[in-house]
Chains A and B, each alone.
Chain A
Amino acid sequence: MGEGVGRAGGGDVNGLLEGLQWLVDPANWSGVDGIPARVWEHVQLSVIALVIATLIAVPIGLWIGHTRRGQFWTVQFANVGRSIPSLAVLSIMFLIAVKEFPSLAFGFLPTIVALTLLGIPVILINTYVGIQQVDPDTVEAARGMGMNGRQVLATLEVPMAMPLIMTGLRLAAVQIVATAGLAALIAGGGLGRYIVDGFALRENDRIVAGAILVAVLSLLTDLAFSLLAKVTSPKLSSEPGKVPA
């Protein structure tokens, strides 16, 4: 079954079919290593990390966008964030955990911390750009109407920035779900288990099934956040210009 694994050149489309067969085999749908359990682990890891990253990055992004302080460093931070490999963040967190908190190193902790760190830059930069792009004249008008900073932020800037904030959340969510697949490398759970175990056991069908599941979960995450973005966008007579981050 696993002969295809080490073969350079390949050409074996049957490998994909074996993966699909593995996916529909009822034996793989129960127990601690069953598909529902692994999906649940994967979702838990991702949701916890995304929530923490959002709670950290959105308020900071709002503050920077609103006060226009630290803009240069925010952009630099986002650029550096893009250049650091996910694999590296995960590995560093694991080695730190093994050394400093050995009892927690083999649980959820290093993965959650790594995923959270990976989610922060893209949420931060999109939140900041979303607030910063709000028309200064409109902000001025709101202040002229007697709104204080907090009111301007809550009733004008945040709704106007919502599409970009949601873009940030979507990108972070997809990246977190993808990287959660690597948690299996540091003895964590999730769908990456099938890929890592399949590779170690030379079981092609398990690898392919794991890869399909990770890909599908990522696409569903992207889809879910796209729909959420539509729901949360303010209904404006004129669409705000797409300002990329």
Chain B
Amino acid sequence: MSVTLVIATTFLAQQDTEPLIRWIWISDHVDEIVSRGLQHVYLTIVTVVIGFLIAFPAAVYASRHRWAVSPITSISGVLYTIPAFAFIFLLLPITGLSLTTVVIPLIAYSLLILFRNTLAGLDSVEPEVKEAAVGMGLSRRQLLWRVEVPLAMPVIIAGLRIATVSSIALITIAALIGRGGFGQFILDGLNTFFWTPLIVGVVLSVALAFAADLLLLGLQRLATPWAKASGVRAVAT
């Protein structure tokens, strides 16, 4: 604390002359911005893809076997509630400073969102529609892939959007162990009382979240041209 105080007062003296953004800092750090950005994108993709690969089959199973809904929701609820940064430090002695230490808590966080939305999407398919499909001779597998998943797609993608945006924000925490993508700039800014990296980190992280959100929205419009995007309401948790 006293060390922090000394640093604070030192930097405080420079604060009056310090502009909010030093543009020269940005042009000096282009390489680092790119590599942190790639790390951020990579972590996001790994998290959401693995999370979905776990949550999707679980939701399909639960939509057919209702007893499974409650236990799966409870387990993913607990994983969702454990703060990601605490989870990271719990894993630290086991998996060290590796990417695994970062990715496991992020996946754990995303499961509840992905599971509940996929299930809500599958549940939203009218029983009459399913009966008609079965009556037309579709097998269970065909029913799932040709009827249920396409009709559930808007809600499933709504869940993917929430999981993606939340993960992008959450990844910044991993800066505490040096793997936080743009979060590293936020932490650097905090530790050095220097606004420029802090602002760069926040702006880029939020911009990445928006870009990913728009991308998924566009994907949904392409995949389900019959659905009105505005009518979709996601299950946040």
Contact = CB atoms under 8 A, between A and B. Distances in A.
Interface string B65-102: 00000000000011001111111111011111110000
Interface string A93-106: 01100110010011
A61 interface: no
Q: Which secondary structure dominates where chain B touches chain A?
A: helix
- Please report whether the interface of chain A is mostly helix, strand, loop or mixed according to DSSP: helix
A105 B8 contact: yes
A91 B190 contact: yes
B120 A88 contact: no
Contacts of B78: 219
B51 interface: no
Contacts of B15: 98-99
B175 A87 contact: yes
Interface residues of A, number: 62
Interface in A105-125: 105-106, 122
Contacts of A122: 236
Interface in A191-232: 195, 199, 204, 207-208, 210-212, 214-215, 218-219, 222
A112 B198 CA distance: 20
B25 to A, nearest CB: 15
Contacts of A215: 82-83, 86-87, 90
B193 interface: yes
Interface centre among A7, A83, A95, A185 (most CB of B within 10 A): A83
Contact of A85 (B5, B96, B170): B170
Interface stretch (B54-62, B141-149, B205-213): B205-213
B186 A16 contact: no
**Interface range on chain B: under 10, 10 to 19, 20 to 34, or 35 or more?**
35 or more
B165 A245 contact: no
Nearest to B158: A244
A85 B186 contact: yes
B1 A95 contact: no
A84 B169 contact: yes
B201 A88 contact: yes
A4 interface: yes
Given A91-B198, A222-B81, A85 B169 contact: yes
B187 interface: yes
A179 B175 CA distance: 15
Contacts of B153: none
8 contacts: A7-B96, A9-B95, A10-B96, A18-B93, A80-B206, A102-B8, A171-B237, A212-B90
Interface of A: 4-16, 18-19, 79-80, 82-88, 90-92, 94-95, 98-99, 102, 105-106, 122, 167, 171, 174, 177-179, 181-182, 185-187, 195, 199, 204, 207-208, 210-212, 214-215, 218-219, 222, 243-245
Pairs of residues from A and B, 9 with the lowest C-beta to C-beta distance, nearest first: A15-B93, A178-B83, A10-B96, A83-B209, A244-B235, A85-B172, A214-B86, A91-B190, A211-B89
Given A85-B172, A95-B198, 20 more contacts: A4-B96, A10-B93, A12-B93, A86-B169, A87-B172, A87-B173, A87-B190, A88-B201, A91-B186, A94-B190, A98-B15, A178-B84, A179-B83, A195-B89, A207-B93, A208-B89, A208-B90, A218-B81, A218-B86, A219-B81
